[in-house]
Amino acid sequence: MITKDMTLADVVKAHPNTIGFLNGLHLDYCCGGHEAISIAIREKGMDVEKFLAELNEVAARPTAAKDVHADIESFKDLKVTEMLDDLEATHHVTDRRLMAETEDLLNKILIVHYPHHGEMLTRLHHLYAGLKAELEEHFAKEEQLVFPLMRQHPHPDKETLDLVQQLEDEHTGAGDVIKEIQQLTNNFTPPEDACPTFRHTYATMEALFDDIFIHIFKENSIAFPEYAEQQ
């Protein structure tokens, strides 16, 4: 039973099949604050009781998001070092591929649709370029600095824990830019005159962000806390 005192991260940890429902409402379960549902939902101007009733119904229902459910359940069973290997082999690879695809597509629609949507697309292109740079640097830092230190120090020392905290702060920063992009694109709703490439760009970007949310959730709410507990 999900209660109003739980955070959305707690909910996803216990019921990964709620991710689709939360994404649909653009609720942050991974990168933002870890506030109780009662606070987070009220801040969004939504009815807490109604939300909880729907969320409990979704959590109890076997859904099409079964793959994500199984993925998170099996991730939780790994040892910390196996979690780090898994993150590098899955989300880091997928997100780099989707980032490159999105970048190409965005550049194409920026040129073709400049006459009618130049202002919005310039802003989107700019925000995305900044986010992509930050994420590439963040992935490099994880792979080359922080994850190797975590493997070397299975019982965390202060220096490593401080670096893990930096990673979490960077997740929050990325989440903020993604929220700005969601607003700017009206949650990836293409304009009426959008061509198939425009629609494909938004769909690719949305798939990228959905994967990034799961990626960050696994780090912030499963791998990093599990590591910190090994003291």
CB atoms under 10 Å from CB of 148, counted, come to: 13
Q: Which is nearer to Fe ion, 28 or 219 (CB)?
A: 219
197 and 73 in contact (C-beta within 8 Å)? no
Burial (CB count <10 Å: 0-12, 13-18, 19+), residue 1: exposed
Options 11-19, 21-29, 68-76, 135-143: segment touching Fe ion (CB under 5 A): 135-143
Instruction: List the interface residues with Fe ion, window 54-73 (CB under 5 A).
Output: none
CB atoms under 10 Å from CB of 42, counted, come to: 15
Q: Which is nearer to Fe ion, 198 or 224 (CB)?
A: 224
Measure the CA–CA gap between 197 and 200, rounded to whole angstroms: 5
In this structure, what are the phi and psi dihedrals at residue 190, rounded to the nearest 5 degrees? -70, 150
What the block records as the tokens of 221 is 């709410």
Instruction: List the interface residues with Fe ion, window 139-158 (CB under 5 A).
Output: 142
Q: Which is nearer to Fe ion, 28 or 142 (CB)?
A: 142
Options 59-67, 96-104, 110-118, 138-146: segment touching Fe ion (CB under 5 A): 138-146
Q: Which is nearer to Fe ion, 206 or 219 (CB)?
A: 219
- Kindly write out the interface string for residues 189-228 of this chain, putting x where it contacts Fe ion by CB under 5 A and - elsewhere: ------------------------------x---------
Measure the CA–CA gap between 178 and 99, rounded to whole angstroms: 13
| Chain contacts with Fe ion (rule: CB under 5 A) | 142, 219
